[in-house]
Amino acid sequence: MKGLYFGRAAVLGAGISGRSAVRLLRDYGNRVSVFEDRVRRFPLLVEGLPIMGPVRAEDLYRYDVVVPSPGIPRRVLERIRLPLISEVELGYRKLVREESFIFSITGTNGKTTVSTLMEHLLREEKPALAGNVGIPFSSVMVDRGVFILELSSFQLSINRGMRFDTAVLLNISPDHLDWHGDFEHYLWSKLRMFEYMRKTDVAVLNMDDELVVKSTRHISPLKLYFSLNDSSADAYWVADSLFVMGKEVFNLGTLSRASRRLFSMVHNRYNLSATALAVYDYFYREGKDPVEETRGVMYKNLPSYRFPPHRLQFVAQIGGIEFYNDSKATNPHAVLHALRTFDRCILIMAGLTKGIDLSILRDEVGKRVSHLIGVGVMCGRLREAGFKPVCVDSLEEAVRRAMELSEGEPVLFSPGGSSFDMFRNYAHRGEEFTRIVRGFLENEPNDGR
């Protein structure tokens, strides 16, 4: 498949990415139909087209291409005997490739932070940020320049030709096993990011993740590695200083106290290392002094960076108890990262576990968690994994119990599962947690001082 004209196209899903795909396909003369299971959530017409209702594989025989939204189950896609193309790849196909530089970022955790960090550091280059970060690539108006794509395993699993100049793989741990079926398919999907890259392209890889190193051994692009302390890596740390190619490019001591605390966290040191290495590679290939340019944008732009919401976000302090919103932690490995930033805390978990074993949390919970609170179905999953949680039925009840149980420890809301049992998405869940905590803050007794 080349170009953007296919003939008859079926778009599966009427959400934001589906609607964007419809617009682009119609702009290129395709005849488009829209299928959507959740018909009642949408108006009768989507981009001027009637919704066809739930899709069945046998309904698609008359189409030439199928564009599935990320939420379409894998079992449905495997029954479709037609070419599949993602909404992201539709956006890719309209680019003037020789006049564009494309970053891609994937991994189990940290994708959004690295994508937005890269956008912020390179803001003088006016990059376009899109993909899993919530902006459909097919809706981006420009067709040449610098592009930063955050990519999920769903989007990469049907990659049919996207090639990236610099591809960043942050880490790999089990996630979305309910969709992929097994970890092998999840891993295979992530690695498809490198499938069409050339020897002149660059892969930025986590040296401290054994699975990343092992599974990328035979990929084509040039490999650059980042590490927290191994000085043989291309990017590494010495105390609070970040080094790239043996040269210091940034020191955390120059940041404000709040920013320094956030960037000092282990997972954010990894995120900053990967970002700096990718930025270095960009300037190198632009023919500029990569060390000086990287150092320049780090000191100029990093102090004004604001972390995305719902990732270890401080919410409020009530009666000496700090509350943190980590709603973006949708798998237990993300919970591990969050826990390691606290000496002791109360942990609230919630959501659907997506088939992932929660027992990997046992050691850190034992060391760092004074009380574990499970909301809804998560409580049963925690019990099955050998924990003894306090069980509650709602997020509001979880916050109330945490306040009752705390002896000054901070309260960490790090769900460890997807949000679909109670909320629309992780952002809705995080907003609700924030609203609940601030509601308790407003009702806190005022002693008049």
Banded model confidence at residue 168, pLDDT cuts 50, 70, 90: very high
157 three-state secondary structure: helix
Matching residue, tokens 């959740």: 38
What's the rounded Cα separation, in Å, for the pair 117 and 181? 32
CB of 69 closer than 8 Å to CB of 15: yes
170: pLDDT strictly greater than 90: yes
**Are 302 and 250 a contacting pair, CB within 8 Å?**
yes
What confidence tens digit (pLDDT) does each residue in 284-308 have? 999 999 999 999 999 999 999 988 8
**Each residue of 263-278: b (16+ CB within 10 Å) or e?**
beeebbbbbbbbbbbb
Is the separation of the CB atoms in 244 and 235 below 8 Å? yes
Q: Which residue, chain included where needed, has tokens 């998405």? A: 425
pLDDT over 70 percentage in the chain: 97
pLDDT digits (tens, 9 = 90+) for 17-51: 999 999 999 999 999 999 988 777 777 677 888 88
Report which of 430, 420, 418 is spatially closest to residue 176, judged by C-alpha positions: 418
Q: Is the pLDDT of residue 175 over 80?
A: no
Contact 212, 224 (CB under 8 A): no
Task: Give the percent of the chain with pLDDT over 90.
Answer: 71
CA atoms of 436 and 88, how far apart (whole Å): 36
Q: How many CA atoms lie within 13 A of 161 on its CB side?
A: 15
Whether 2 has a pLDDT exceeding 80, the answer reads: no
Residue 235 pLDDT: 98
Give yes or no for residue 397 having a pLDDT over 90. yes
The CATH class given to the 313-442 domain equals alpha beta
Lowest mean pLDDT among 212-221, 250-259, 260-269, 343-352: 260-269
Task: Kindly indicate the confidence band of residue 314, based on its pLDDT and cuts at 50, 70 and 90.
Answer: confident
pLDDT, position 449: 34
User: What superfamily would CATH give domain 95-304?
Assistant: Mur-like, catalytic domain (3.40.1190.10)
Confidence (pTM): 0.83
Q: What is the pLDDT of residue 421?
A: 63
Strand partners, 412: 324, 347
Closest CA to 236 of 279, 244, 284: 244
User: 327-344 pLDDT, tens per residue?
Assistant: 988 888 889 888 988 889
Q: Are 415 and 327 in contact (CB under 8 A)?
A: yes
Which residues are CB-neighbours of 22 under 8 A, at least 6 positions away? 11, 32, 34, 46, 47, 49
Question: Looking at residues 163-169, what average pLDDT do you find?
Answer: 98
Residue 195 class from Cβ within 10 Å (0-12 exposed, 13-18 middle, 19+ buried)? middle
Q: What is the model's pLDDT at position 444?
A: 67
- Structure confidence at residue 161 (pLDDT): 94
Whether 257 shows a pLDDT value over 90: the answer reads: no
Would you say residue 231 has pLDDT above 60? Answer: yes
pLDDT exceeds cutoff 70 at 8: yes
Question: Looking at residue 72, what is its pLDDT?
Answer: 83
- For residue 181, give both structure tokens: 């079926």
Q: Determine the Cα–Cα distance for residues 81 and 60; give it in Å rounded to an integer.
A: 9
Cross-strand partners of 10:
33, 66
Residue 158 has pLDDT above 60, yes or no: yes
Tokens read off for 24: 């682009």
Residue 309 confidence (pLDDT): 81
Distance CA 172, CA 333 (A): 10
Domain residue ranges in the chain: 8-85, 95-304, 313-442
Pairing of strands 65-68, 8-12: parallel
Provide the β-strand partners of residue 206.
226
- DSSP-derived 3-state class of residue 354: coil
CATH architecture of the domain with residue range 8-85 = 3-Layer(aba) Sandwich (3.40)
Phi and psi based region of residue 168 (left: phi greater than 0; alpha: psi -120 to 50; beta: remaining): beta
pLDDT of residue 446 exceeding 60: no
Q: Which residues contact 424 (CB under 8 A, 6 or more apart)?
A: none
Of the pLDDT bands very low, low, confident and very high (cuts 50, 70, 90), residue 311 is confident
Question: Can you give the pLDDT at residue 51?
Answer: 86
Burial bucket for residue 98 (CB in 10 Å: 0-12, 13-18, 19+) = exposed
Per the prediction, the chain carries an average pLDDT of 92
Amino acid making up residue 420: F
C-alpha Rg value of the chain to the nearest Å: 23
The CA distance from 152 to 158, in Å, is: 11
> Distance between CA atoms of 208 and 194, rounded to whole angstroms?
19
Note the pLDDT tens digit of each residue in 71-108.
Answer: 788 888 888 889 999 999 999 999 999 999 999 999 98
Asked if 271 contacts 114 with a C-beta cutoff of 8 angstroms, the reply is yes
* DSSP-based three-state secondary structure for 375: strand
